[in-house]
Amino acid sequence: MTIHREGRKLLFWMLIILAAINFGLNRWIPEQDTILNVVLLLSVVLYLIVLQFFRSPYIKLPNDEKLVFAPADGKVVVIEETLEEEYLNERRKQVSIFMSPINVHVNRSPIAGIVEYFKYHPGKYLVAWHPKSSFENERTTMVIKNPNGVKILVRQIAGALARRIKWYVKEGTPLAQGGEFGFIKFGSRVDIFLPLDAEVLVSIDEKTKGGRTPIARLK
């Protein structure tokens, strides 16, 4: 388990600020033991909460061209057939995974392949489970094409709390299956659009682990 690069600067400055607050209070009101202890406890708890947001566990990368792996830790909240209109312009099976603040926030490639399309969209910050969040919220859209020509679309979606989407790819970037392609600070949602003939292997409310839980099998 390591600390993700997206959190290292924030955690460093947060540690400095919280230490300064506690040091200052000890100098200004040294006799107020109850207040000092409460502030210290709250500082530790707050720091640990933010620290766990940025944990990045080591995983063994999968390697199975027939399986599609979860792009994120979280809970399956949508499984439905829908029309993907941004790039693929065809009907697809959509699987959506909600990332809560206590989940690992690393986003991983569901298949191995080349990034054929990538675009960032500014937008609103509706709650992640809102039906319109997929096309009105701040988001990124990425299409990965595997060596067999199968295309998978993955969409990072910001929510009411998560307002910092990070990505590390562009068109032409090669991705390993399970390889990191982005990060959403403090949770939110990831949508994945599968071919209609793909066999979905998860169910609603099932918990997933990014790069470790198979969510579909390709024909």
Active-site residues: which are they? Answer: 188
Distance CA 200, CA 78 (A): 12
Of residues 182, 106, 103, the one with CA closest to residue 144: 182
- What single-letter amino acid sits at 155? R
